[in-house]
Amino acid sequence: MMLAEQGGRIASMSPEGNVFDLMAGLYSKSGSPQFDVYLKGHSGDDLVTDRVSRKSIRVERPALTCAYAMQPAVIKGLAENSAFRGRGLLARFLYAAPRSWIGRREIAPAPVSDATREAYRRTVRALAEVEGETVLTLSADAAVLLRAWETEIEAMLGDGGQMEIMRDWGAKLAGATLRLAAVLHCVEHGAAGRIEGRTIAAAVEIARYLVPHAEAVLNMMSAKENSTDEDARYLLRWIQRHGRRKFTKSEAQHHGKRRFPKADAIDPALAELTRRGYIRPKMMETTGPGRPPSPAYEVNPAAFANAKPEKRSDNSHNSPEVPEGSNCGNNGNALEQPETTTRVQVTI
């Protein structure tokens, strides 16, 4: 009804994820999922609803923009509703899972400048005032760049490719890239003209940034709680952050004494890192009678292969909080053995 009232163009934005409860059919009489409007609002397919109790509603080529900021606890378990992923709902969103800055946040940051605020207001108002249908075309070099990106995407969707386990999302990435390019073009030039190659290149850069985020979030949705994996990732972050090539159990436990209040509470995490090849026990020499020394560990150099020091950027667009240069935590839940290969990722 709202789409029909607003000419088929509305935005749904929220700082929470309650909208997914509505999609799941929380308040529907049948209890069945209710997200046809989201599917058709993404693809632009005509939306027709026929109800006995009220007149029919028809929306031609609807366009629904969604933006939700959700806590990880809300995200986890979304994929348990098989209809969400089975009907392609989750594949239609673009995801970003930035690293949390809690504990390292800038206090009393400077506000957005008046000039920036006014420029943003003028741009949004100008786009909102565009009337009628606008057709954007690609320049020759833009078409070549887009074709090359589509070819690269197809390879990532193949067996062993980066998007092998999320083909539903990856299959829509080329279309999403073109939409991003259209937005970038309209913001800079207005709703007219041709999309140039540099605009397609910028959209592709954003799309590359989104790939590992989608992998992390989609896996987080279907992840089960595993405290051992979480504890192992906690220790691995400590090792990488402080460049520890070797350490003792007591040093690690002292660092995480709130997480591991008892000495043996850290054992499962150490065993998990050992099993996956991140660390190995160090042979200890006996020094005679008395209390034995704390067990010591050596760190696999591959754990530091592509690690970077943490640095705050102005736009805070960081990759998901997983170690770089290894597969550890790459799916948002499970740890894997470290690799020595380097993964190239463009971050904007």
Query: Residues 26-47: what's their mean pLDDT?
Result: 80
Predicted confidence (pLDDT) per residue in 53-90, tens digit: 677 888 999 999 999 998 887 787 676 677 777 788 88
**CA atoms in the 13 A half-sphere facing the CB of 263:** 6
**What pLDDT shows up at residue 86?**
74
Helix (H, G, I), strand (E, B), or coil: what is residue 194?
strand
Predicted confidence (pLDDT) per residue in 196-222, tens digit: 999 999 999 999 999 999 998 888 886
- CATH class in words for 225-284+292-348: mainly alpha
Q: Work out the angle at residue 104's Cα, subtended by the Cα atoms of residues 210 and 244, and round it to the nearest 5 degrees.
A: 85
Domain positions in the chain are 108-223, 225-284+292-348
Rounded to an integer, what distance in angstroms lies between the CA atom of residue 92 and that of residue 171? 10
Residue 152 in this model has a pLDDT that exceeds 50: yes
Kindly report which listed range (110-124, 228-242, 266-280, 330-344) carries the lowest average pLDDT score.
330-344
The answer for residues whose C-beta is within 8 angstroms of residue 154's C-beta and 6 or more apart is none
pTM across the whole model: 0.67
The answer for residues whose C-beta is within 8 angstroms of residue 44's C-beta and 6 or more apart is 61, 62, 63
Task: Put residue 7 in one of left, alpha, beta given phi > 0 → left and psi -120 to 50 → alpha.
Answer: left
259 close to 234: Cβ distance less than 8 angstroms = yes
Rounded to an integer, what distance in angstroms lies between the CA atom of residue 49 and that of residue 27? 18
In 178-253, the DSSP E strands lie at 194-195, 246-248
Rounded to an integer, what distance in angstroms lies between the CA atom of residue 217 and that of residue 220? 5
